[in-house]
A and B are shown apart, each in its own frame.
Chain A
Amino acid sequence: MTFLISDNLLWTLAGVAAALVLFYSYVLRSEALRDRRLSGAQFALLWLLRLGAAAAVLVALARPARELTQTETRLPVLPLLVDESTSMGFPAARGNPLVQNSPSSQRTRYHGAQRAVQYLQEQLSQTHRVRVYTFSDALALLREVPHRTADDPPLAEEVLFGPHPAPTGEYSNLGDALQTALEQQSGERVSGMIVLSDGRQTGGLATSQAAEESAAAKVPVHALTFGDEYPLRDLRIDDVVVPAEASLGDVLTLHVELTNQISSPLETTLMLEELGAEGSPPTMLSQRPIQVERGQHVVSIATIPEDEGLKTYRLSLPVEPDEVDIENNVAEVSVKVVKRTLRVLLIAGNPSREYYYMVPALLRDPILELSCYLQGADIDYTQQGNSTIERLPQTVKDWQRYDVAILFDADPNGISTQQLAGLEAMVANGGGLMVIAGRNHGLAKLVQVHAAKIRGLLPVEVDKNLHLDHDVYFEQPFQAARTVQGRNHPVLLASTNAALNEQVWSTFGALDFYWYHPVADAKSKAIVLLSKGSQAGVEPLMVLHRYGDGAVFFSGIDSLWRWRYPYESYDYDRLWTRAIRYLGEARLLGTQQQVSLASDRRSYSHGEEAQIILRVLDPALMAQLADQAQFVAVSAGDQDTYMVPMQKDPARKPLYRGQYRARRLGTMMIRATQTAPDADSEAKPLFDVSHSFQVRMQSLEHADTSADMESMQKLAETTGGEYFDYRTLGDLESLVKVIPTEPLVLTETTIVEVWDAWPLVVIFLLLVSSELCLRKWWGLL
């Protein structure tokens, strides 16, 4: 019993009650004194009635009350969060025990999660209120599993997952789902949360942050990971890099970017077929056995187009067992095969030993159409070459028929001024000139005879008075070494593989040379490729520079045939053909190909920033472009063109960089074009290269098909939960054991006022009316 009246008021009431007693005492004493006819019993009875009435009033005023306590027991809540993003539709890990006995169509990660949920709800629905949620971009309650007793049958899996038989979500916002689930369980006793996912988050709140919030709320999150650490079993061709045009009879190399997600290493075969006319079977061109580790690789396969026209090539990889996607094992590319030749005119004074080896090297190149002109030959001599000539070109027009000219220790007296002017015009218009100095005539004689043109053409400074001394014996050997610029120059790159390139050139460095043609120095914008000894620029042996749209190559040694040891003509031949193709490239392909335009990726999401890289492969071209601003035009179809300014690489690499934020969807074309510094507006560009990339709204679900086991494990560790993956999912019983079953006990206390009831009023009225009646009866009124 308690009184709802305050203490102060209680004392006041006590005072009032005392006052009433005193008042009644006075009234009754006066009445008694006046009448004296009441007996003691009557007097006492009246007093009792009066005191009783006063007490009833006091009780009412004091508000006596009593406390009532109520207790309620509730089961703890256990939310199960099932990832229903499309990545859960990928096959589960092969070792996942939950799907081992299922048909192959039901071995997805989602099916594994369904099995786990079914098991858990069967085990826990008697002791917990199991709430099954699904999440993708947002959390949604799938079903609250009804509580059941041991005698009740569990909820069937089909019923539970009826609304969501397959994953359809485009996102995996795991962090958001955890946060929302935590908020929705506020006020409940949460035994923990169980997340069933592949862990591959694509957006929303970071999982680590959600884990910290769960840990702060003391809600352990148990992580059940579906999938494994490896991407899905897939062997795919990602891209095929191939030139738009290929030369008839030359090697066409197709660089295939492929991804191996099968095994490491994987032995397979890359096949190249040519698709014929509709209905005709494809022609197998080449099969290349390959062995690749896991991950992305570039593998090349080559063919030689034998006829002209637009060719469609199909590249394919065999289908591996259990491959998730077999359509991506095949790629088709189209290449236009055109007949292109590089017409080379070799003018040699006399047949030195280099001449004997160099001519077959050039004749073996299917692109080159060689015409030799041996100046010292008999007058009725049939000159060599696959396009024989009887005399040197005379006019500028005659010279324009050639793409590259080689002056191999040529007798300057056998070349007229008019002929040299034609040669100079050919080079200025994109042709190439190779000057190989020899012991017969030397450069001084050449400069003396043709000073006007040859001085400008040569990439080296020559002392015209320094004639060769034939009485000297050259018996001391020296070594030729590549300069820093020479090491990266396309002419001297024997292989794109740096290690292999060094291996090839290591044999060159060991060679002894005895004679070289001295020159004063290399010109300022020229690139020294080879020098005597290791000091660059001191004694240049091989120099190159740009001249107008063309290029001029100089070699001061005439005994490169020494490189025939140890690999005979293998590297020797290729050195010459690389040099000739480099010099004739502008003519062969329309423009210089010594620049490459690329983006850091082939595909971007909308709003992403694309890094554009303009790489200048030729240091000589870089020197030529030194003071010119570079821009790259970006366009999408026929829409506006956006010019991206390109900045020189801060690390002084021979490249320019620019950024473009992808604002439009579709194929974006980027193009870099540049004319020679002093060229007129009609001149053809020095280079004109293009590249394209895709901008699309792309799902991130397929970006990485492996499970993020690390983040799932961290989630469990941070919150104090348990972690399971395909290795331990068979032991879900242990999870059931660690989930607490203590119920939520709710206690409620209510206060009921005792006086606020009709009996007290009746008592009060009875007492007062009795006292009045008695007084009336006894004649006191």
Chain B
Amino acid sequence: MTNFPRMGRTLLLTFGGLLIAAVSWQFTYSQTPAEKNAAEDEKKDDKSEDDAQRLLAERERKLGPTFPGKDPAFLVLPRPMERSNMADQLLTPEVLDRTERALDYLVRTQDPDGGWSDTQFASNTGVTALCCLALMSEGSRPRAGRYGRALDRGLEFLLNQVQPSGVIAGKGSNPYGPGYEHAYSTLALLMAYGDMPWRPQLRDVISRSIQLLARSQHLDGGWRYQMNREGLSDMSVTANVLWVLRTAKKAGFTVAPESIENGVKFVEACALPDGHFRYRTFGIVAAPSMGGTGIIALSNHGQLDHPLIAPARDKIAYEYQRYTIEDLKERRYFIFGCFYASLAMYSCGDEYWIPWFQKSATVLADMQRADGEFPDQHDNAIYSTAMAAMVLQAPRAYLPIYER
């Protein structure tokens, strides 16, 4: 009799266990009507939508990049063939961590006036513009997002540096001339245009900036540091200006077609058949950093099938595969070239982009300092950090300068 309570408990526990198991089974294996519908759906061919997408992509790939309408600036690239996991593949926790440290470094080093200063370029609009673009590539917008406040201050700085002539350059500009500063600043403001309704003057600033670029196009078709028509152009500034002009077109600003056509002719004149570009139409072969710049310049005329693009692309791919991390690090203006190469290789598709990015990320990882910055050979750490941050965030596809 003394065992009875224990037996009772045992029976109760057994019964309870069975009851719980039955209820669990019911919830686990029995189907609600919705689940039944889902099960019926699963009988359907779940690849039909993807197949349709692939079919359209194949057709578009055959057609190549197109520009519906009247202007090649409005280039439409073929849609992706499939749901690529490129971003997840490339944005490893390490890359994300490095990017965050780089962006945090930029925010920490922002000047009180909202601008950024580099070792060689104090309170420089070009450096500031690149920092703004880096923050935008994270997904921030002026006054919205994780870096919205810093971005807003940076853009305000740019607006405050607009000169009566229309040039967007302050006292810390390059002594050779404000060509880079003006181009980068215009680009940053174009990217922010539409997200800064509290600055209605923005439209006028950009408009004047573009008119200035048109006025300062050299007779050889290109641009250089000085914002005037005199002298001979260089490949680097010209490519940046072409980039700005195309972006301006997409943003609703009128750009004379001949400006871009002449600029592209200048770039073509700088090209060599082996995929390299000269810095200028004469002289020695330019640094490898010009390869990406050249591709961007040619693409901006809506010619992704330009015969010069393929050798330039292959040259970049070869060099990044061939050279060691140390070799690439030691290159002159490596991060500068890496940034333009990223723009070029991204548009060439995953086949080129993924191996290129993986190698570049390795090189950049080797270059990053403890505070998160990426210095260049002249101990400039801001513009290069901004460019490196944009490269590392390119797989996120949040900044329209990266196009596919």
Contacts and interface: CB of A to CB of B under 8 A. Distances in A.
B326 interface: no
A255 B143 contact: no
A351 B194 contact: yes
Nearest to A370: B68
Nearest to A371: B69
A398 B52 CA distance: 33
Interface in B59-94: 59-60, 68-71, 74, 76-80, 82-88, 91
A264 to B, nearest CB: 15
B153 to A, nearest CB: 11
A573 interface: yes
A598 B77 CA distance: 40
A562 B80 contact: no
Interface string A343-359: 00000011111011101
Size category, A interface:
35 or more
Contact of A298 (B43, B149, B252, B253): B43
B250 interface: yes
Nearest to A469: B198
Given A374-B252, A381-B253, A497-B41, A570 B84 contact: yes
A511 to B, nearest CB: 9
A303 interface: yes
A378 interface: yes
A496 B49 contact: yes
B79 A473 contact: no
A304 B54 CA distance: 11
B149 to A, nearest CB: 6
Interface string B117-145: 00000000000000000000001010111
B348 to A, nearest CB: 14
Between B49, B86, B194, the greatest number of chain A beta carbons within 10 A of the residue's beta carbon is seen for B194
A356 B396 contact: no
A308 B152 CA distance: 53
Contact of A299 (B45, B49, B252): B45
A564 interface: yes
A567 B87 CA distance: 7
A753 B69 CA distance: 127
Contact of B143 (A385, A438, A473): A473
Contact of B55 (A304, A350, A383, A500): A304
Nearest to B46: A497
A774 interface: no
B45 A350 contact: no
A614 B303 CA distance: 51
A301 interface: yes
Contact of B148 (A353, A514, A653): A514
A108 B253 CA distance: 80
Contacts of B194: 349-353, 355, 376, 438, 440
A388 interface: yes
Nearest to B252: A377
Given A297-B43, A300-B48, A653-B33, A251 B76 contact: no
Given A353-B194, A384-B74, A569-B404, A475 B145 contact: yes
B6 interface: no
B47 A364 contact: no
A378 B252 contact: yes
Contacts of B80: 567-570
A562 B141 CA distance: 12
Interface in A538-595: 559, 561-562, 564-571, 573-574
A302 interface: yes
Contact of B45 (A255, A303, A364): A255
A360 interface: yes
Nearest to B89: A566
Contacts of A385: 68-69
Contact of B69 (A384, A561, A570): A384
Contact of A470 (B74, B141, B143): B143
A773 to B, nearest CB: 111
Contacts of B91: 566
Contacts of B323: none
Contacts of A497: 41-42, 44, 46
A78 to B, nearest CB: 49
Contacts of B78: 364
B195 interface: yes
Contacts of B307: none
A562 B253 CA distance: 26
A564 B398 contact: yes
Interface residues of B, number: 65
A172 B51 CA distance: 45
A366 to B, nearest CB: 7
Interface string B190-212: 01011101100001000100000
A691 interface: no
A574 B78 CA distance: 14
Contacts of A504: 83
B163 interface: no
A470 B33 CA distance: 48
B400 interface: yes
A472 interface: yes
Contacts of A571: 83
B254 interface: yes
A589 to B, nearest CB: 17
B152 to A, nearest CB: 8
B193 A350 contact: yes
Contact of B207 (A378, A386, A498): A378
Contact of A357 (B38, B60, B149, B400): B400
Given A299-B45, A356-B250, A564-B398, A382 B197 contact: no
A302 B76 contact: no
Nearest to A571: B83
Contact of B87 (A302, A352, A568): A568
A762 interface: no
A363 B141 CA distance: 25
A651 B37 CA distance: 13
B148 A474 contact: yes
Contacts of A651: 33
A357 B77 CA distance: 12
Residue among A298, A301, A562, A570 with max Cβ neighbours from chain B (10 Å): A570
Given A251-B55, A351-B194, A470-B197, A566 B87 contact: yes
Contact of A439 (B42, B56, B191, B197): B197
The listed residue with most B CB atoms (<10 A of its CB), out of A439, A477, A573, is: A439
Interface of A: 251, 253, 255, 286, 288, 297-304, 349-353, 355-357, 359-360, 363-364, 366, 370, 374, 376-378, 380-386, 388, 438-441, 468, 470-475, 477, 494-500, 504, 512, 514-515, 559, 561-562, 564-571, 573-574, 651, 653
13 contacts: A286-B55, A304-B59, A353-B141, A360-B77, A378-B207, A441-B197, A470-B198, A474-B144, A477-B146, A514-B141, A567-B83, A568-B86, A569-B80
Given A356-B250, A496-B49, 14 more contacts: A253-B48, A255-B45, A301-B51, A302-B51, A357-B400, A364-B79, A366-B56, A384-B69, A384-B71, A388-B70, A477-B146, A562-B398, A565-B398, A651-B33
Interface of B: 33, 37-38, 41-49, 51-53, 55-56, 59-60, 68-71, 74, 76-80, 82-88, 91, 139, 141, 143-146, 148-149, 152, 191, 193-195, 197-198, 203, 207, 250-254, 395-398, 400, 404
